[in-house]
Structure 1
């Protein structure tokens, strides 16, 4: 058994037999206490990186990537706390629904019977108009190290949550990496865009993507370069990509000085 998989299994077993504590604040009880869950879900909003990379869809996040929210994401992503998947997926689903409600107030479109209807995104020629929930893929070596596909699991849970809310949605792991990219740490926004250019492609499917509109899902957004590259790849297959949602959004320097970047 791979080390990452073994660690995930042991973590799950320990969650079942040992008293739990909140990954966000350390309080005894649930793996995510009510206070930290509130921090995670209280303020879903449009949070765009600054500058916005070309091709980035409308980008919403559940919360700022800081404090308890950051600790919850790190515990799930890097420390094998897979029990937090349901909590993070609830926050993502809540964020999608908040974005949909925002759409209802827009004069140029509305959400009807699980599909977006307006002059830019409506497409009666393909699929059922529902959402194809697409996770941004991690590098294969990262998945092996963690022992799980953390965003893929979230995408499946989000699709289920949207169906429970009455929206047509299906999860589809339709993206894959085409090769190695340089470490992103320390790169500027434009450098990240250049580094990631062409790094993702759509997985060949016999019948094409299972819908018309893609909803991109990821854990955090920093410069938006990864989401923009994922959107480019999906659009190349004919999908519309109106929206991307993440659990957290990092606070860019220009946002600290001049506002929240909406």
Structure 2
């Protein structure tokens, strides 16, 4: 759950520039990714930061964390690559402090898919985020990736108490058959 030492570490990394925590958080995120996708090539898709938040934080913290996570998975013999397939659309507000309804409205259509040329990489898409609060961010991100016609999974460092049971679950209802 998003509490105690883990909460303090996430906030220090994300909001206070504690880049030295990236390695430890990457180990934790790697465990969540392994739980979501036990075998095969993994394509980590970081949830992009809102531009203003990324500027304030000195860059996109999830993209950095996804890179460290992929490196750790590869060191264990798990093929993993970061694919930045999501971009923010419009001007969604930072979701911190918003309630469930406000988050859903704020994040509806908040992400678009970055188009790529060339052959598609093989593997399982895993959206990675730091904290699952209501699930609105992951749901919006998964909807943006529907055009890839593949199953989409999600993994996060933590979930708020209401969501912590679902942190490693596949994003339901958003697979290639929907």
Question: TM-score scaled to structure 2, two decimals?
Answer: 0.83
How far apart are 1:168 and its partner, in Å? 2.2
The answer on 1:95 being equivalent to 2:6 is: no
How far apart are 1:141 and its partner, in Å? 0.8
Q: What aligned pairs does 1:235-254 form with structure 2 within 5 A after superposition? A: 235-241=146-152, 243-252=153-162
Larger Rg: 1
Q: What aligned pairs does 1:2-151 form with structure 2 within 5 A after superposition? A: 64-100=1-37, 111=39, 114=40, 130-151=41-62
Match of 1:180 among 77, 81, 91: 91
Match of 1:225 among 126, 131, 136: 136
- Secondary structure, in 3 states, of the residue corresponding to 2:49? coil
Q: Which residue of 1 aligns with 2:173?
A: none
| Residues 186 and 84 of structure 1, relative CA distance in 2, 3 Å threshold | closer
Query: What whole-Å deviation, never above 9, does each CA across 1:24-43 have from its counterpart, x for those lacking one?
Result: xxxxxxxxxxxxxxxxxxxx
- Secondary structure, in 3 states, of the residue corresponding to 1:245? strand
Q: What aligned pairs does 1:167-206 form with structure 2 within 5 A after superposition? A: 167-182=78-93, 184=95, 187-206=98-117
CA–CA distance in 1 between the matches of 2:147 and 2:105? Answer: 18
Q: Which residue of 2 aligns with 1:21?
A: none
CA–CA distance in 2 between the matches of 1:97 and 1:261? Answer: 16
Structure 2: 5+ residue stretches without partners: 167-178
- Secondary structure, in 3 states, of the residue corresponding to 1:144? helix
Two-structure CA RMSD over aligned residues (Å): 2.0
CA–CA distance in 2 between the matches of 1:154 and 1:70? Answer: 16
Q: Is the 8 A contact 1:216 1:244 kept in 2?
A: yes
Q: Is the 8 A contact 1:78 1:146 kept in 2?
A: yes
How far apart are 1:183 and its partner, in Å? 5.2
| Residues 149 and 209 of structure 1, relative CA distance in 2, 3 Å threshold | farther
How far apart are 1:98 and its partner, in Å? 3.2
Question: TM-score scaled to structure 1, two decimals?
Answer: 0.58
Count of aligned pairs between the two proteins: 166
| Residues 87 and 183 of structure 1, relative CA distance in 2, 3 Å threshold | closer
Query: What whole-Å deviation, never above 9, does each CA across 1:125-160 have from its counterpart, x for those lacking one?
Result: xxxxx2210100001111111112110011111112
Q: Which residue of 2 aligns with 1:61?
A: none
How far apart are 1:198 and its partner, in Å? 1.3
Structure 1: 5+ residue stretches without partners: 1-63, 102-110, 115-129
